[in-house]
Every structure is written in structure tokens, then in C-alpha cells.
Amino acid sequence: MIEIKNLCKSFTLHNQGSAVIPVMTGAHLRVAPGECVALTGASGAGKSTLMRMIWGNYLAASGVIRVGDLNVAQASAREIIALRRDTLGYVSQFLRVVPRVPTLRVVAEPLLALGTPEAQAEARAMDLLERLNIPQRLWQLSPTTFSGGEQQRVNIARGFAHPYPALLLDEPTASLDGANRAVVLDLIAAAKARGAAIVGIFHDEAARAQICDREVDVTAFTPMPAGVAP
């Protein structure tokens, strides 16, 4: 479902003396439907960079990023928008929403964008918010004022509203208490069971061991500084 071949990335900082910073070279990854793969490696090794490239948020310098039928590395904006709507979900660490939109709407939005009838989309959103223990009195409020853990759970509910065939999870269990952590792990397990291909970053080792089928250390894709033997 997700296949990465020989992926490279560098940043050119035009306003800082045009410094070129290579951040990834020769990355490979294959994730089958129903499989959950954890990206590991020290902070700064490129886990988030790789994830953002799969999402189409960072441009690839070269290589292939295939999600379903689409090569994200070469795709047009319009194709990536369609991919994100239908095929690829992403739970980021931060919630970014239009201020003032009620939580229920925020969670239902991915379904509404797919043309799901409003009542059905909201029913699904309510179910997820309830499972993730977001008190009902908060559903009509904007999540921008919520605590970190609550925002995280709203983000997860939103990411799981539509059964995407492929999912990216960036620290989905960080800043959650035990009960909510268990709910999130259940959601991930259910997504695997229905055949979703999942790429995740988990600093929570126990969660990783429980839910992930394989680990891929991205340090292997970190470019070596010039003159240092690999």
C-alpha cells in the first residue's frame, strides 16, 4: 500500500548563505495492507521528515513514494488533495483548525468532505469522541481552548473518522493517560484488522511493541557528513 524507493531529501536555506542540508538519502520502506510499521531513530534522525514526505507536505528531491496508485513524489497538488481526502489519513502531533469551529464539526469534517450525509458523519464523530472520553459538554466548543491531551484526542478522532486505507500516526499516544492510551491502541488495532497500512512514530515503547509488526530505523537513511566513512 505504501512503498518508498531510493528517497532523498535536502533543504536549501536561501536566506542563510544558501546552505544545503541533506537530511535523507536512499530511504526504502514497504508497508502492506494490515501492517503497522514503526519509524525509529534518535530525535533529528528524520522520522518526521519521512512521514511529512509521505503526506506530501515536504517535497522529495528524488525517489518514489507510492501510496496506493499515486507517486506522491511526482504528484500534482490536486492529486495529493484527492489522496488525502480518500486514501491517506494523518494524525499529527498538533491540531490545526479554524478557530470557532465546534469539536464535533472538526471530527466530522473528513467525512463531510467525502460527501457523507451530515447526520451519519456526526454520528460517527460522536461515537469516536465518546470512546476517546471527550465530555459531551465540550462537543459544541472549539478545540482550540482544550488541554493538550484533549486536543490530541480530538485529532485522533478526526484521523480515524474515515476508514483510510493508509494512515500516518505521529506520536498518537503521547500525552494520554492509561485509559485513553488503551482506546487509541484499540483504534489502531481495528484499523489494522480492516486492512489499513500504517506508518507510525511512537516514543512509547510498550505501545510500539504491542501494535507494530516491524520497526524501521531511519538512521540508516541519514546522510553521512562529508569525509566520514559510513
Partner 1 sequence: MKDLRDTPLLVVEDLSKRYGARIGCVDVSFDLWPGEVLGIVGESGSGKSTLLSCLAGQLAPDTGRVLYQGHDTLEMGEPQRRTLARTDWAFVHQNPRDGLRMGVSAGGNVGERLMAVGARNYGAIREAATDWLGRVEIDATRIDDRPRQFSGGMQQRLQIARNLVTAPKLVFMDEPTGGLDVSVQARLLDLLRGLVRDMGLSVILVTHDLAVARLLADRLMVMQGGHVIEQGLTDQVLDDPQAPYTQLLVSSVLQV
Binder among 30, 66, 71, 82 for partner 1 (CB under 8 A): 82
Residue 227 within binding range of partner 1, rule CB under 8 A: no
Residue 59 within binding range of partner 1, rule CB under 8 A: yes
The Cα-based distances of 35 to 106, 118, 182, 221 in angstroms read: 28, 31, 19, 21
- Helix axis angle for 148-160 and 103-113, nearest 10°, is 20
* C-alpha closest to that of 125 among 167, 98, 157: 157
Which CB atom, from 11 or from 174, has the smaller least distance to partner 1? 11
Q: How far apart are CA 53 and CA 138, in angstroms?
A: 34
Residue 199 beta carbon to partner 1: minimum distance, rounded to whole angstroms = 18
The string of DSSP codes covering 47-68 is: HHHHHHHHHTSS--SEEEEEET
Residue 137 within binding range of partner 1, rule CB under 8 A: no
39 DSSP β-pair partners: 216
| Cell triple for 156 | 485522533
- The answer to whether the beta carbons of residues 95 and 151 sit under 8 Å apart is yes
Binder among 13, 21, 206, 224 for partner 1 (CB under 8 A): 13
User: Which string of x and - marks every residue 107-136 that binds partner 1 (by CB under 8 A)?
Assistant: -----xxxx---------------------
Residue 180 beta carbon to partner 1: minimum distance, rounded to whole angstroms = 27
Residue 57 within binding range of partner 1, rule CB under 8 A: yes
Stretch that binds partner 1, among 106-114, 154-162, 164-172, 222-230 (CB under 8 A): 106-114
Which residues of this protein are in contact with partner 1, per CB under 8 A? 11-15, 52, 56-59, 77-82, 85, 96, 98-101, 112-115
